[in-house]
Amino acid sequence: MNLAKWLQRSAMLTPDAPALLHGTEVVATYAAFADRAARIAAGLRRAGVEPGERIALFMPNRPDYLAIWWGAWWAGAAVVPINAKLHPKEAGYIADHAGARLVAVTDASLDLGVPLATPATIDALAAAEPMPEPEPLADDALAWLFYTSGTTGRPKGVMLTVANLVAMSLTYLADVDEVHPTDAALYAAPMSHGAGCYNLMHVMKGARHVVPASGGFDPAEILALAGTLGEIHMFAAPTMVRRLITHAQAVGHDGTGIRTIVYGGGPMYVADIEAAVARFGPRFVQIYGQGETPMTITALPRPLVADRAHPRWRERLGSVGIAMSSMEVRTVDADGRDVGVDAIGEVICRGPSVMRGYWENPEATAATLRDGWLWTGDMGALDAEGFLTLKDRSKDMIVSGGTNIYPREVEEVLLTHPDVAEVAVVGRPHPDWGEEVVAFVVGRTGPVDPAALDALCQSQIARFKRPKAYFAIEALPKNNYGKVLKTALRENLAAMPV
């Protein structure tokens, strides 16, 4: 089937319902949203775009993003979302690698080596009579070609089919949250990534889609929109949750108007989610996924995030929850043998949302998809109740004196210090031990005393896990999705005199 059927259905059912909002201003009803998508589809087909061809989007969040996206789907094309913060050279690489027929942009002066469609071009395409029905598609048709954010090497194109995205959406409804037509899906993170994925279930249910006027993440704006629009749903990376809560604490906001914050995409430290639940109450759901099985591996449901009375509440908060209904999750050794309860192994998973493979990269596909299982590259442990606790990406694990040390464990401890705002623990090459543990620390009000941090570690974790050096740093290097770039920190270390 064609996913655009969901848009068509919502437009038939609730034509006058608000669909696309810019800030608080409604810019399209469902009838107008579907009409524009169907017109863009007709324009694309008239311009020679065939079903299965790729249309890229390299633009910041804006309401028309969704019309172009669904228009491409309506025409039977696949969408290639490119993070708007990438360098034009990086975007050009992706557009070229994907064989995109055209790239929708807001900046007409770009040179990406692929034909551009500016907002004016899109308007011209949309002048055509609408394509009456979405192009019929097979379930294994390519729908989304998503380039991984990868901190090393060239990004790889994850091939997601119609069936993958149907599975992602239905699993969301089963395990993450309900979606109501009165909801307002707020895009405070790039629509080219996880936050954008969540537009599908909101189109399916005829809910509102809100692009903040700032186009991005501004805590004050989000709380103001929550007050005006109500029933806000948003995806937030853990660093965004932390900033939102810090702001809400400062202004005394209790989260009224926000229905659900789905967090994930990186480690959420226990101290942070505890503070978040204390301020906002039961509004949080955690998901663990990756581009290769978008937003869909495990979930920590709302009642479990908020259930302070449970004897193992804190432990569960430190986990990423339980396998979603459509997923099988295992932890295995390098040969694919189960490591058993509570032991650490690589997380592998299987289910209908798992990608078909990497675009034109059979070697990477063969290394990642083995016997139908997706090897995530994440290390984790499953407890007796099925809760998965992630340790670190295998490449971030520190091996010191032959012992594995998981940076996150050390980070969790350091973060409990009241003067620590952010922290990242990495391994530094050591002639005797292979690697030694060092910590980069962002203080709330300037450098934090290393002796105090060391005393804290001594009281909480084994001696061999304690950082051997602390570096005060003003901000941690992060990629465009807010993920800490440990590779960059390791490079900094390599360049430092020992």
Binding stretches for ligand AMP (CB under 6 A)? 148-149, 264-267, 286, 288-291, 320, 376, 378, 390, 393
Structure tokens at 200: 């599908």
Q: First and final CA of the chain: distance in angstroms?
A: 59
In 3-state terms, the chain is what percent helix, strand and coil (to 5)? Answer: 35, 30, 40
Residue 43 or 196 having the CB closest to ligand AMP: 196
Q: Is residue 83 within 8 Å of 149, Cβ to Cβ?
A: yes
In this structure, is the dihedral angle defined by the CA atoms of residues 439, 444, 448 and 452, taken in order, positive or negative? negative
Return the residue matching tokens 């804006």.
62
Start-end of H helices in 176-286: 194-197, 199-204, 219-229, 238-251, 270-280
Residue 106 or 480 having the CB closest to ligand AMP: 480
Shortest distance (Å) from residue 321 CB to ligand AMP: 8
Shortest distance (Å) from residue 140 CB to ligand AMP: 22
User: d(Cα 245, Cα 314) in Å, to the nearest integer?
Assistant: 19
Residue 260 or 376 having the CB closest to ligand AMP: 376
Please state the φ and ψ torsions of residue 48, each to the nearest 5 degrees.
Answer: 95, 5
Shortest distance (Å) from residue 241 CB to ligand AMP: 11
Shortest distance (Å) from residue 315 CB to ligand AMP: 15
Q: Is residue 272 within 8 Å of 240, Cβ to Cβ?
A: no
User: d(Cα 270, Cα 256) in Å, to the nearest integer?
Assistant: 23
Shortest distance (Å) from residue 404 CB to ligand AMP: 17
Residue 52 or 386 having the CB closest to ligand AMP: 386
Structure tokens at 341: 């309860």
Q: Is residue 428 within 8 Å of 438, Cβ to Cβ?
A: yes
Shortest distance (Å) from residue 288 CB to ligand AMP: 4
Residue 171 or 290 having the CB closest to ligand AMP: 290
**Buried/exposed code over 131-141 (b: 16+ C-beta within 10 A; e: otherwise):** beebbebeeeb
DSSP designation for 396: G
Residue 267 or 427 having the CB closest to ligand AMP: 267
Sequence-separated (6 or more) residues with CB below 8 Å from residue 194: 235, 264, 265, 289, 294, 295
Residue 252 CB coordination number (10 Å): 7
Return the residue matching tokens 């009838």.
31
Residue 99 or 266 having the CB closest to ligand AMP: 266
Alpha carbon distances (Å) from 305 to 244, 252, 281, 479: 17, 22, 9, 27
Shortest distance (Å) from residue 332 CB to ligand AMP: 15
Residue 222 or 299 having the CB closest to ligand AMP: 299
Shortest distance (Å) from residue 137 CB to ligand AMP: 25
Shortest distance (Å) from residue 347 CB to ligand AMP: 8
Return the residue matching tokens 């060391």.
454
Residue 374 or 438 having the CB closest to ligand AMP: 374
